[in-house]
A and B are shown apart, each in its own frame.
Chain A
Amino acid sequence: MALIVVERVFTEPIVLAESQAIADENAWCYRLHQVRFVLSYVSTDGRRVICVYEAPDAEAVRRVQRQTGLPAQRVWAASLHEAPEQAVSLSAKSTLEEPA
């Protein structure tokens, strides 16, 4: 599976609970496309979000985004490069839970 990054921009600050509810509603769609949420970075003003998923390809994530209706300005496949001495557990920093 590849790491897929989704860039999102919101006009109003994001309410995490609402986004989570949308993701939960569409859990079937995530499962079908083999898309698994990994983590998110949310800007301090709540208007910009970077989400990272595991999926077979970027297209699978695009389809899921379209189904959920959440804004996704860019979707791209990525590779992860960490500084060895500063390795952090990405999942420990996540603020959004995986869809139920």
Chain B
Amino acid sequence: MSGTETLQIRLLGGMEVVRGGEPLVLPPSKKTRALLVYLVMTGRAHRRERLCDLLWDVPDDPRGALRWSLSKLRPLVDDPQRPRIIAGRDTVAFDADGISVDLLDIRRRLAAGIDSASTEQLTDLVNQFRGEFVEGLELPNCYDFHAWCTAEREEVRALQTAILRALISRLAARADVALPHARALVQIDPLSGDAQAELLRLLAATGRRGEAEHQYSAGRRLLQQLGPDELEALDRAWRRIASAPADTGRRPSLAGVSATPSPTTAPDFDHASLDEPPATVLVGRTAERARLREMMDTIRSQRREGVILLKGEPGIGKSRLLAALVATAKEQGATVLDGEAFEAESGRPYGPWIDALRRVPAVSVGPTLGNELAPLLPELGQDEDTEPSRDRLFGAVVELIAARAHSTGLVVLALDDVQWIDEASASLLHYVVRMNRHRPVMIVLAGREGELPDNEPMLRVLRGMRRDRVIDEIALGPLGDSEIAELVQHVAPEIDTRRVFAESAGNPLFALEVARALPHRQEEDMPQTVTELVRDRIDRLPDLATDMLRWAAVMGVSFNLRRLPHLIAADLDELVTSLEVLERHALLRQGHGASVADDTYIFAHDIVRQAVYAELSEPRRRTMHWRIAKTLEKLEPAAETVAAEIAYHAALAGDAGLATRSCITAGKRCLRLFANGEAEALARRGMHFAQQLDEPVRVSLLIELNEIAIASRRPERLDDAAHAIEALAERALDHGCMEHARLGFHMVSRLRWEEGDWSDAERHTLQAELVGRSADPKEHVVAMAEAARCLARLERDLSHAEALLLEANALSGRVELEHAAISECMGILCSHRGQFDEAADLYRHARDLSHRDGDRLGEFEALEHLVMQEFQRGRYDDAAALSDDLVAIGEKLREGSEAPTARALAALARYAAGEINQSAVLETALEDLKLADAKHRLGYVLTRAALIDLDRNEAGLAQKRATEALWIAELLERPTEIALAHVALAKAAAAGGDEEALRHHIGALGDRSLRDVSVPVRQTIEEVLADRRSADLPAGIDKAIRGNGNGTDYC
């Protein structure tokens, strides 16, 4: 392969891939480009899962997204004879052999150290730093990638700083040659007082005292944030300059070192350019406009829905065309709902929808609908009696659109920049599209075609609409030369429009920037990209306006004016004046959200924001993000709506604690808004940050984050999730974080059990009573264990029983306490799940512990469970043997129902084993049990006796006993016993030919209460019903029978 054909990958500055000296067109998808950078820079094979985690924060088919990206990279980097992307079944690597990668080349050349390189070599190397490492490739929501990229940028910055410092030092005697390097150093390391001071010295040494003064003013404002120490070098340098005789016409205006030059002392500006009118004219697009008008007419006249996607590259004019459509629709009296998505806003669920829905005047939304929409529009007020739900919310949005379509004849829903739309908004959009097919609703979406594949939820919606053939797509291409000429005439009437067209290749945004730049530039130094053009324009702005633009760029595409005075040292008047300058320059525009109309400003285009943001050095960005996060936290500490914003800024500032806490707040809000996708993403982000925190804060926050994650999506591997959370809860216990430990145990139990029929209020009451009962840890363990056992015995809220049990068990190890209630309760729960062997071991252990403690009643109860379990397993001989032991213990317990119970169980075991003469014994024992008034025990024996009666063809007796048992079970609210009594009665009815009774009892088995029936009895029910399935089985029985297959294996 010839040298000119060699593939070059440039990462220092904007990413470029060059072949044969020609830059190739990169894939528009940022994630695809990020993937290439990562593979190239890491230089090794990565597991596919790792790459998916790195870049595809989506639950659905991340491997598919990875495959898609690889398919876009192959044509870019593969040589005909040599593939560069080496993708195996499990791993992916990049073969960089023989390829030039600028950063790797520099590192190789400096392998022996900077000192051993000549000044010429260093000068050559430093020129290769065209900008920040992969400038503009921001993926703030892919935190792993972002962390990796930030670390690389830090290293690159350190390398560049070291080279620049070496050069400045070596060229100390040649101020004019050293000056560009000093400027570059301040650019990348603005918070270094030394670097700022050195620049001042060189500026003064080269006769640039005016610029030195300006630089001092700007540098001081910046370093003030860091404290007096950082200012010292700068102030010293300035004192030296100020005390030296001036060799230009201008002297520094400062009287003392503490004074700061005002912004008015900045260098001269071309003030004529400030009065440039904003470019709002729409030119060209005749065919597209005609088509949209025609569609609008058709939708209105035929009263049916239409969906249109306007797609094209950034700056091609999608938003402008959308704005024109919106204006036309308003003129025609249509209801217009418009909103836009912003890149930094994921985490603010339904953002574009909230803006769009606020277009409808609140007074025209009735109280009922307002109540349903309140989760999105809290100003409409929410009735506390109504339980909000996602279905209700989505239904209300459709209803609102339907009402407006009916009253105004047409609704236009215009959503811009859908490549950044959040998952919740995408879901709502899909729902609205599906539910309005026969209404006059025009849905117009605009998005960057190349970046849409990065947004899986939106892509899914588009795929669905394409499949259903309900979407028309309009691709916007470049404007023609005459159109570009017409466009730029409005900005610069005297301009050479042919040149503008040639430079911009018909992209209107690019063309406007070229037109603005041309009067200030010579042909040879004309910037080559839109970003450079925008930057060039920004460089000519007053200081305060530039400052404001920087803060705005760090805040995001849209920002609130009220926050600025907290960030910039200027009064509101000055800020408003600067804002006007930026508006006139068409860099910012006023937001059009109805609720925030006066305070929100938006970048004229995201490219402008990117250009400003990319110019900021990494340390400076971090400082600014941190100040914004802290300011938001201080200004709106209780406002959940800003939590996602705080999380975003705190993350980019490296404040893991604040980021994690904010993710929790924002995640909980997302759950309340049914934005489960966003909630899950926030939980995962929070977990990422939490890893950087110290214990015990980390473990507590991880538990809260897991709670959000579980609530947003039930884990696929329940047992793994439960074990992981249990381990966290144990660690929380170790740290004494009781509340979080308890929360963890509750989460584990909720994962393993369906919700019981207890209300949360009842649970909290019990919890509060137990917590308040005793400060002694041992007594506390006993209280919890006994409460858990009580719930388990009564078969009430087993989920809560397990939560208490887990906590009691974990604590008991720490206070070296073994309590029979824990083992017994564990046994009951295992038995409920059909884990008989484990349960038997636990019951025996409980019996031993009770025996040790002299608790004869406890001993009896543990043994009673064992006997009952043997009945369940059909081992009547074993049951009989154990019953004899039970009788012996029962006789020693004078009061209570134990002795008659033991006798009844012993008689039942022998009756089941076929001893006919036990029938009378059983009857006597049952009478004794009735006298003792122990209904649950009586009911238990009656049901089993009835089932045995049926085996003996004594249906009448069985029916009598089971009827009484059913009455008892219903009185005591025992789900398993109720179900089993119905089984016995169904069998008795079948045997007696009573079809009506049979249907009644079969129907009862479909009742919801079956949810809590034990697994073994559910199996019994299934066996009974198996031969009746072909008959008229009520719907829902199968589900009810099989619904609760939970399991824990701590037994």
Contacts and interface: CB of A to CB of B under 8 A. Distances in A.
Interface in A13-36: 25, 27-29, 31-33
B769 A57 contact: no
Given A27-B769, A59-B897, A62-B897, A32 B933 contact: no
Interface of A: 2, 4, 25, 27-29, 31-33, 56-59, 62-63, 66-67, 72-77
B895 A29 contact: no
A28 B765 contact: yes
Chain A CB count within 10 A is highest, among B770, B857, B935, for: B935
Contacts of A74: 895
23 contacts: A2-B933, A4-B933, A25-B773, A28-B766, A29-B787, A29-B790, A31-B762, A32-B790, A33-B794, A56-B972, A57-B933, A57-B934, A57-B936, A58-B934, A59-B896, A59-B934, A59-B936, A59-B937, A62-B897, A63-B790, A66-B857, A73-B895, A77-B933
A82 to B, nearest CB: 22
Nearest to A100: B769
Interface in B922-939: 932-937
B769 A28 contact: yes
Contact of B770 (A2, A28, A66, A67): A28
A74 to B, nearest CB: 7
Interface string B410-425: 0000000000000000
Contact of B787 (A28, A59, A75): A28
Interface in B957-992: 971-972
Contacts of B513: none
Nearest to A33: B794
A25 B769 contact: yes
B786 interface: yes
A28 B761 CA distance: 12
Contacts of A58: 897, 932-934
Nearest to B797: A32
Given A28-B787, A74-B895, A56 B766 contact: no
Contact of A56 (B762, B895, B932, B935): B935
Contact of B896 (A2, A4, A27, A62): A62
Contacts of B796: 32
B791 interface: yes
A57 B762 CA distance: 23
Interface string B775-794: 00000000000110011001
Chain B CB count within 10 A is highest, among A32, A56, A63, for: A32
Contacts of B769: 25, 27-28
Nearest to B767: A28
Interface of B: 762, 765-766, 769-770, 773, 786-787, 790-791, 794, 796, 857, 895-897, 932-937, 971-972
B936 to A, nearest CB: 7
Contacts of A66: 857
B903 to A, nearest CB: 16
A76 B86 CA distance: 82
Shortest 3 CB-CB distances between A and B: which pairs? A59-B934, A58-B933, A57-B935
Contacts of B770: 28
A28 B790 CA distance: 10
A63 B895 CA distance: 12
Contacts, number: 53
A62 B794 CA distance: 14
Contacts of A28: 765-766, 769-770, 787
B92 to A, nearest CB: 57
B759 to A, nearest CB: 12
Contacts of B897: 58-59, 62
Given A56-B971, A57-B933, A59-B937, A32 B791 contact: yes
Given A56-B971, A66-B857, A77-B933, 17 more contacts: A4-B933, A25-B773, A28-B787, A32-B791, A33-B794, A56-B935, A57-B933, A57-B935, A58-B897, A58-B933, A59-B896, A59-B932, A59-B936, A62-B896, A62-B934, A63-B790, A67-B790
A33 B791 CA distance: 9
Contacts of A32: 790-791, 794, 796
A59 B766 contact: no
Contacts of B933: 2, 4, 57-59, 76-77
B916 to A, nearest CB: 30
A47 to B, nearest CB: 19
Chain B CB count within 10 A is highest, among A31, A63, A72, for: A63
B4 to A, nearest CB: 83
A58 to B, nearest CB: 4
Nearest to B786: A67
B959 to A, nearest CB: 23
A74 B762 CA distance: 31
Contacts of B935: 56-57, 59
A2 B935 CA distance: 12
A62 B937 CA distance: 13
Contacts of A75: 895-896
Contacts of A25: 769, 773
A63 B792 CA distance: 14
Nearest to A72: B895
A67 B770 CA distance: 13
Contacts of A4: 933
A56 B794 CA distance: 13
Contacts of B794: 32-33
Nearest to A59: B934
Contacts of A59: 896-897, 932-937
Contacts of B791: 32
Contacts of A76: 933
Nearest to A77: B933
Nearest to B789: A67
Nearest to B765: A28
Contacts of B765: 28
A57 B938 CA distance: 11
A67 to B, nearest CB: 7
Contacts of A67: 786, 790
Contacts of A73: 895
Contacts of A77: 933
Contacts of A57: 933-936
Contacts of A33: 790, 794
Contacts of A56: 935, 971-972
A9 B786 CA distance: 26
B455 to A, nearest CB: 50
A52 to B, nearest CB: 15
A57 B786 CA distance: 21
A35 to B, nearest CB: 12
A29 B788 CA distance: 11
A7 B454 CA distance: 76
A2 B773 CA distance: 30
Contacts of B787: 28-29
B121 to A, nearest CB: 80
A30 to B, nearest CB: 11
A70 to B, nearest CB: 14
Nearest to B766: A28
A54 to B, nearest CB: 13
A25 B770 CA distance: 8
Contacts of B895: 62, 72-75
A33 B897 CA distance: 16
A67 B769 CA distance: 14
A43 B786 CA distance: 32
A29 B786 CA distance: 9
A1 to B, nearest CB: 9
A4 B770 CA distance: 27
Contacts of B790: 29, 32-33, 63, 67
A33 B937 CA distance: 14
B243 to A, nearest CB: 82
B828 to A, nearest CB: 14
Nearest to B769: A28
Nearest to A64: B790
Contacts of B972: 56
A75 to B, nearest CB: 7
